[in-house]
Amino acid sequence: MSHPKDERPPELDGGSTPEVNLQEVPAELAILPLRDTILFPHAILPLAVARESSVALVNEAVRERKVIGVVTQRDPGIDDPVEADLYRVGTLTHIHKMFKFPDGSLRLVVQGVQRSVCSRSASTSPS
């Protein structure tokens, strides 16, 4: 059984976000787990975000103009990773562009800002 193809174009967010001021980076960051991807400082990378918790995290970060942390998962097959499933070293990340698709997923253009080390997890879900 085939499903009709959704021909609607993606919804573009209203432009790019302002540059990151490293003096204003909070001690606690929202962490976006990445599957099979590593973002290095200063690198620009397109990301696909589809997990419900990750979409909520990105929407909040864009709405509040926050920098986020991205960390690679140890096992990309885990759908709902916890702290032990993530590497400790990641990257502070600036979201330059966000595209919302009709299926609820997002496409991002992000830039690594600075290497970061996760010391502990304060929460496993976005607020």
Can you read off the two tokens belonging to residue 123? 């929460």
For residues 17 and 60, the model is more confident at 60
pLDDT confidence of residue 126: 46
The pLDDT tens digits for 70-91 are 999 999 999 999 999 999 999 9
Q: How far apart are CA 118 and CA 90, in angstroms?
A: 7
Q: pLDDT band at residue 14, thresholds of 50, 70 and 90?
A: very low
Q: How far apart are CA 19 and CA 89, in angstroms?
A: 23
Residue tagged 């942390």 (tokens)? 69
Q: pLDDT band at residue 9, thresholds of 50, 70 and 90?
A: low
Least confident range from 6-20, 67-81, 95-109: namely 6-20
Can you read off the two tokens belonging to residue 104? 């609820």
Helix (H) or strand (E) holding 57: helix 52-63
